[in-house]
Chain A
Amino acid sequence: MFFHMVLERNMQLHPRHFGRDLRDKLVAKLMKDVEGTCSGHHGFIVAITGIESVGKGRIRDGTGFVVFPVKYQCVVFRPFKGEILEAVVTMVNKMGFFAEAGPVQIFVSNHLIPDDMEFQPGDIPNYTTSDGSVKIQKESEVRLKIIGTRVDATEIFCIGTIKDDFLGVISDPGANS
């Protein structure tokens, strides 16, 4: 799920950036530092949408670096248990398949794949129904439900299922090409 929220961060800026465009430099550095990171509490920080305020900088002894407390608005993405996501399959193996929904990695084990789909080893490993009408392979897009998350300080990993109504392949790369 996506959230728009205000976060705060202490930015350290090198003295060489002190000048007319100090603020721009600060924002650029903030984006570079923060976007794409993951915090266990808030989830993945997807994008910074604006700066709320930049506090008074404090010069650090010895180095000359200045620390600015910056409040910024951002979009965060955090997966929840029970959430339905659309994801792209990145790897298929005997144990199941891995998929990515933006920054988050999801594993779907073969127990959570419908019973009528079977693993087909080979050049392009895939899961196929007995009649061959549905195929899950690399680059397939699937809709899945998250049934478990593991949230570390800097990482979120999910496991999902496609063993429910309206879940499964939504576009088949083989069919398109």
Chain B
Amino acid sequence: MGSADPFNRLVKLAARAFYDDITTKGENQQKTGRSDNRGIAVVVLDTLTKRQWVREEDLAKDLKLHTKQLRRTLRFFEEEKLVTRDHRKETAKGAKVYNAAVAATGDSQQTGREGDDKQKMHVHSYCCLDYAQIYDVVRYRLHRMKKKLKDELESKNTIQEYVCPNCGKRYTALDALQLVSPYDEYFHCESCNGVLVAESDKLAIQDLGDGDDNARKHRHDKIKDMLSKMEVQLKPLIDQLARVKDLPIPEYGNLQAWEARAHASGRSANGDLTASDPSKSSQGFGFGGTPMPYVGETKVGLLRNFFHFSCEVEVAFSGIGEKGEMVKSETPMKVLPPWMIKDGMNLTKEQRGETKAETKTDSTLTAPEVSDDKKSSTVNDEKKSIQDEYVKAYYAALLMRQREQEETMNRPEPANTISNEDYYTTTERQVGMKSKRDEDHEGDDVNWEEAGPTTGGQTRQFKVDLNEEAEASEEEDDIDWEEG
């Protein structure tokens, strides 16, 4: 979904190129000045690029358009194969599912959607851009335009076609010999003997005047001009098509699939490692709508519990080496958004003021131990020499990180595993938050997201550390691959 930007640009360009002066038919006959809704098509397409699946009522509300007018425009786009639509009967509950999906995708334009929940069974229409088809449609359109002009230009003497007005049968000039009649000077249809009519389906330019030879030349020039103009004016569009050619096309699937996926991705984006279905998360922390400090406390408890555990883990993998890395590499592989980590850290810092002393000593003790152990155990193994290098590098990075943290935060992080615990707990809390958000308001969501990038040095450092870890673990994974 991240790669939708070039496609959105394509849609916008195409909208301006081809749908700029589209008016929805039927309307402009009744009213005059006010019904000049020529830009609507472009506006609608532009708005659709900012969304995925969207309910048409909401879209109309956002655009301040009448639903009928919007629907007419959308129907037009459906015919043009730019938009896929879905209609389904649904209750307030169904609408909720959609709302939840929208919330999960992080769209921040949910306005008055809560009011809709009271509706009974209603047919709702949804629409979404069909990027794959748009790509093809635009290409085909360009191809046809070019072909028509080129045909006209190169073989300006196209083969004449004849149509029988009675039976509709078509002939070309190549059939002329069979069509000629001995009695009069017309061509006659082979099947019904009607008089054939020459058909001229050339470009409209033809009626520009057929007085003399100049007209023909004039027309020729005009077509040439048109072709070159077309190439210049549509160049941005063609360039965009070329750019998009090798990119994976964003595929939102049908409405149901999209909703399901939006749920899932929304959850994973929030770093949900444990709870995989909404029921779980709602039963958990989210149920009470727990405020932040509370969550922090529970986390402290968890942290304490986990502290010993984590020590064990560290010792264990220092002996085995390979396995330990596997365990470790698992967690950083799941890329957590930076704002997540930051939040967790801040919380622990606030909440764990008392536990500082213990953790500090322990962590500083364990870390060097680990590295020593690891060295002694792995020197014997010649096979694992390469792997050891990674391990060494890894631990070096770990130590570095610990020191950095000690310096910057004046507070120790026991080891990697503990910070993993942080992820763990924060994610759970996150889940709770999310489910809560689904239920009532989305304000939190925005805050959360914005908090990430705006914070200063701390987060940045964490980010860097994470990246190092991730890289190291990836490399280790590679080695494992080769050996296994």
Contact = CB atoms under 8 A, between A and B. Distances in A.
A44 interface: no
Interface string A95-132: 11010000001010111101110000100010000000
Given A111-B160, A148-B159, A93 B174 contact: no
B186 interface: yes
B187 interface: yes
Nearest to A110: B198
A111 B210 contact: no
A40 B157 CA distance: 24
B174 A95 contact: no
Interface string B137-162: 00000000000000000010101100
B176 interface: yes
B174 A115 contact: no
A147 interface: yes
A164 B216 CA distance: 10
B160 to A, nearest CB: 4
Given A105-B177, A109-B173, A112-B160, A95 B187 contact: yes
Interface string B208-225: 001111011000000000
- A interface majority secondary structure: strand
A98 B211 contact: no
> Size band of the A side of the interface?
20 to 34
B176 A116 contact: no
Interface in B168-199: 172-174, 176-177, 180, 185-187, 198
A8 to B, nearest CB: 30
A12 B177 CA distance: 34
Given A98-B180, A107-B177, A150-B174, A115 B186 contact: no
Contacts, number: 66
Contacts of B157: 111-112, 145, 147, 161, 163-164
Contacts of A111: 157, 160, 198, 200
Given A95-B198, A98-B180, A148-B159, A159 B186 contact: no
Nearest to A81: B155
A111 B177 CA distance: 17
Contacts of A96: 173, 176
Nearest to A116: B212
Contact of B173 (A93, A114, A148): A148
Contacts of B173: 96, 107, 109, 148, 159
Interface string A139-155: 00000010111100000
The 5 nearest A-B residue pairs measured at CB: A93-B185, A107-B176, A150-B174, A94-B185, A109-B160
Interface of B: 155, 157, 159-160, 172-174, 176-177, 180, 185-187, 198, 200, 210-213, 215-216
